[in-house]
Amino acid sequence: MIEVAPTMSELLQTRQPSLFEFARAHVLATIFGVVMPLVVFAVFVGYPIVYTVVLSLYEWNGMTPTKTFVGLANYQYMLQDRYFYTALFNNLKWLAVTLVFPVCLGLVIAYGLRAKILPFPTLVRTVIFFPVTMSLISVGLMFLLILNPLFGAFDTLLQSIGLGGLVMEWFGDYRIALYTLTVVSGWAFTGMPMIFYFAGLGDVPKDTFDAARIEGAGHARMLIQVAVPQLRPVTAVVVMLTIFESLRAFDLIAVMTKGAPFGTTNVLGYLVYLESFWNSRFGYGAALSVAILAVSVGLATLVTRTLMKGAFDV
């Protein structure tokens, strides 16, 4: 007996279960897969964001039971605060160095591992990724000892190999203190883009590299002209993570410099801490937090429109 396939009109007439009926039929999946994540997000992410935005409209010292509504006064003050612009500019410099140093280095290491240029690939991946698992507090304390101008291992090494002229106050010189912090942060962050790029290179068709190799392309050309275009979706994710990592920088500054020298290493995250807990201006600190959120969303949107546009058409 030959079965006749249903026509398109019959398929369209088939009643689809409603959302409520689907939820009743899959109770556990609805509770643990939809309801619980939404509740957790609302409690630990949504509520703090809304409360911060509301608090930014008030003046409050964190002690009195009442708050004084000031409207947009905190934002007006922020636009006239030179410390805000210094911290914002430092954050942008931090982001630029992070994009150049750990992201590019992670890409090169990932390619070297996939191309089997680097020996002991498992050991290399473990060593490079291990700092990502470390607390930035411990990383900061460790580099305070390594870069100590009196007995630090790094300056001692430079002097022992005849490069004593390069020894300097890594955290005391206002010209290089911020960049020293970004390099330390980059050392701890390199493993993250390396893992993403390593996984992304595994999805690039091997025939693409073989064709480039037959045409005489070296590793540098294959990395730039073959791997990088194929990794645009991965790069978009990595850049967005780098933006968030740079704008939430706080730990290293709090441990290593506390904004010194002369406030040249202040970033937005540390400025929020100073205004809120040292100056008891929680309303203004909340306004600064909203500014960080706005900058993060703006940069993330820019990255999405530029890097992700046509990324899956490669």
Are both 58 and 81 inside the same structural domain? no
Please report whether residue 3 resides in a domain. no
* Predicted confidence (pLDDT) at residue 165 exceeds the cutoff of 60: yes
Are both 64 and 87 inside the same structural domain? no
Are both 52 and 188 inside the same structural domain? no
User: What gap in Å lies between CA 26 and CA 8, rounded to an integer?
Assistant: 28
Q: How many domains does the chain have?
A: 2
Q: Which residues contact 145 (CB under 8 A, 6 or more apart)?
A: 152, 153
**Would you say how long the chain is, in residues?**
314
Question: Which of 46, 69, 92 is the C-terminal boundary of a domain?
Answer: 69
Are both 52 and 132 inside the same structural domain? no
Question: Residue 252 to residues 83, 127, 186, 285, 286: CA-CA distances in angstroms?
Answer: 19, 21, 11, 19, 21
The predicted model gives 164-193 an average pLDDT of 92
Taking the CA atoms of the chain, what radius of gyration do you get in angstroms?
Answer: 26
Lowest mean pLDDT, pick from 42-46, 182-186, 213-217, 268-272: 213-217
Please report whether residue 9 resides in a domain. no
Are both 47 and 87 inside the same structural domain? no
Give the model's confidence band at 32: pLDDT under 50 very low, under 70 low, under 90 confident, else very high: confident
Are both 100 and 225 inside the same structural domain? yes
User: What gap in Å lies between CA 175 and CA 186, rounded to an integer?
Assistant: 18
Please report whether residue 131 resides in a domain. yes
The b-or-e profile of 50-63 (16+ CB within 10 A means b, else e) is eebeebbbbebeee
The predicted model gives 257-281 an average pLDDT of 92
Q: Can you tell me whether residue 99 is helix, strand or coil? A: helix
User: What gap in Å lies between CA 203 and CA 218, rounded to an integer?
Assistant: 20
- Residues of the chain with pLDDT > 90, as a percent, come to 54
Please report whether residue 313 resides in a domain. no
Are both 107 and 241 inside the same structural domain? yes
Question: Which of 69, 88, 107 is the C-terminal boundary of a domain?
Answer: 69
Please report whether residue 266 resides in a domain. yes
Mean pLDDT of the chain: 87
Give the model's confidence band at 314: pLDDT under 50 very low, under 70 low, under 90 confident, else very high: very low
pLDDT of 311: 53
User: What gap in Å lies between CA 233 and CA 309, rounded to an integer?
Assistant: 9
User: What gap in Å lies between CA 31 and CA 139, rounded to an integer?
Assistant: 40
Contacts 24+ apart (CB under 8 A), 104-108: 105/186, 105/190, 105/194, 106/190, 106/191, 106/192, 106/193, 106/194, 106/195, 106/196, 106/197, 106/238, 107/193, 107/194, 107/197, 107/223, 107/227, 107/228, 107/231, 108/223
Are both 137 and 190 inside the same structural domain? yes
Closest CA to 299 of 268, 275, 276, 271: 268
66-115 pLDDT, tens per residue? 899 999 999 999 999 999 999 999 999 999 999 889 999 999 999 999 98
Domain holding 181, by residue range, is: 77-308
The predicted model gives 120-148 an average pLDDT of 93
- Residues of the chain with pLDDT > 70, as a percent, come to 89
Lowest mean pLDDT, pick from 5-14, 148-157, 244-253: 5-14
Are both 158 and 295 inside the same structural domain? yes
Are both 63 and 189 inside the same structural domain? no
